Structure 1
Amino acid sequence: MTRLSGIVAARQVPLRARGRPSPQEMMIPPRGFQTGARSLLVTPSDLLSVAGAMICRVGVLYGYYAAADDRDAVSAVVRADDQPVGTGFDQLVIKGIDPAIELLPAEALIMGRDHDEVTADPRRCALIGMVGDGEVVAVSLTDTFRDELACFDKTLLNDVAVGWARSPQAFYGTADPDPYILADFLADLAGLATRARTAGHRLYCWICP
């Protein structure tokens, strides 16, 4: 594991067999989620406020991972086997790259769209599940980003990383990120997107302080 410019890069976690949570532990109502007796109706503003609250905490981990669907993705964080979050899923764990904030400029560059177009997709950072009062949050990434990243010319990822590192919207209040670290992350994320697309899976991110 390497720490540079406030970003910690970790290699992909190998796929292993995973336990399945009980139906009572699954949290996928159509527009919200439940935890215990507490229910939350999720709106677009809720999604960003939850993500914003999470990134303010020191030492937040972000696990980008692939799952068959939303219900399968929730089982990465709501576990019945006492294993660490994300165990058994094809995933990439990192610090310092929040899917709602820091990843946005990279999405825009790879997809060739402006930020407003990227954030207009209702799948982007849609809250799909939560443990307790926010100990772990799981959000979705868009299928469009998965497909664009999987098909993107990998020889251009270094150029994307340079533009990403210079974006005023990314990494606000932190030391300037190293483009080489960002390029490595993008290459790993592109590999994850490629495998997910081939398997017909979707991309997600769990957030854990």
Structure 2
Amino acid sequence: MGNLYDYFSAPDDPAALTAFDEGAEAAGFPVLPVKGIDPYVELGQAESLLTGTPYEDITPLPRFNRLLSSPEDDSRWLVTLTDELRDALVAARPGGFATVAESWSHIEEFGGNARPEDLADFLGGLADLAEEAASRSEPHRLYCLMSL
């Protein structure tokens, strides 16, 4: 069946944890559900392309996939996404995501099965979340709730 990912924005980490208990949509957060685009390797590669930062320099960032939920949970996890990704999504908005999606579609983890158009649509949806999050008087942050 595959993993399910709910990307969402929340004001802070404690608020995001309510999404772990209730579900992001039930907690009142804007949600982008997707199947098959994990926040670590696959979205990390997109972040690298969007920011021009090598992947190996992104993974040590303090908010890169930091686990907020309990490590004992074996079928659901809540992780943070970086503010750099949020800001890069917003900055890339005027030109769209076609070029990034084309390069991103060729990463090994997609196994040749990712269509650039679908990836561009996903990035556009994630950019909608990022734009809403960044436009608040106190900017919200991005998160991912993963379920098996």
Q: TM-score, structure 1 length as denominator?
A: 0.65
How many residues are aligned here?
144
Bigger share in strand: 1
The residue aligned with 1:112 is 52
Within the alignment, does 1:150 sit opposite 2:93 as a pair? no
Q: How does 1:105-144 map to 2 (within 5 A)?
A: 105-130=45-70, 133-144=73-84
In 2: Cα distance, 1:145 partner to 1:68 partner: 16
Within the alignment, does 1:191 sit opposite 2:128 as a pair? yes
Conservation of the 8 A alpha-carbon contact between 1:78 and 1:131: no
The residue aligned with 1:5 is none
* 2:69 counterpart SS class: strand
The Cα offsets for residues 61-82 of structure 1, whole Å up to 9 and x where unpaired, read as 0000000100000000113xxx
Within the alignment, does 1:206 sit opposite 2:128 as a pair? no
**Which ranges in structure 1 are unaligned for 5 or more consecutive residues?**
1-57, 80-84
Q: Which runs of 4+ in 1 moved over 6 A?
A: none
In 1: Cα distance, 2:31 partner to 2:70 partner: 18
* 1:73 counterpart SS class: helix
Conservation of the 8 A alpha-carbon contact between 2:106 and 2:112: no
In 1: Cα distance, 2:59 partner to 2:73 partner: 25
Identity %: 38
The residue aligned with 1:15 is none
**Which ranges in structure 2 are unaligned for 5 or more consecutive residues?**
none
* 2:146 counterpart SS class: strand
In 1: Cα distance, 2:47 partner to 2:76 partner: 24
Q: What letter is aligned with 1:201?
A: H
Conservation of the 8 A alpha-carbon contact between 1:130 and 1:136: no
Which one of the candidate residues 50, 73, 80 is aligned to 2:16? 73
Q: 1:72 to 1:131 in 2, by over 3 A?
A: farther
Which one of the candidate residues 152, 156, 162 is aligned to 2:102? 162
Q: TM-score, structure 2 length as denominator?
A: 0.90
| Structure with more relative contact order (C-alpha pairs < 8 Å, separation 6 or more) | 2
* 1:103 counterpart SS class: helix
In 1: Cα distance, 2:41 partner to 2:94 partner: 23
CA RMSD, Structure 1 to Structure 2 (Å): 1.6
Conservation of the 8 A alpha-carbon contact between 2:90 and 2:131: yes
Q: Offset at 1:89?
A: 1.1
In 2: Cα distance, 1:120 partner to 1:176 partner: 28
The structure having more radius of gyration, on CA atoms, is 1
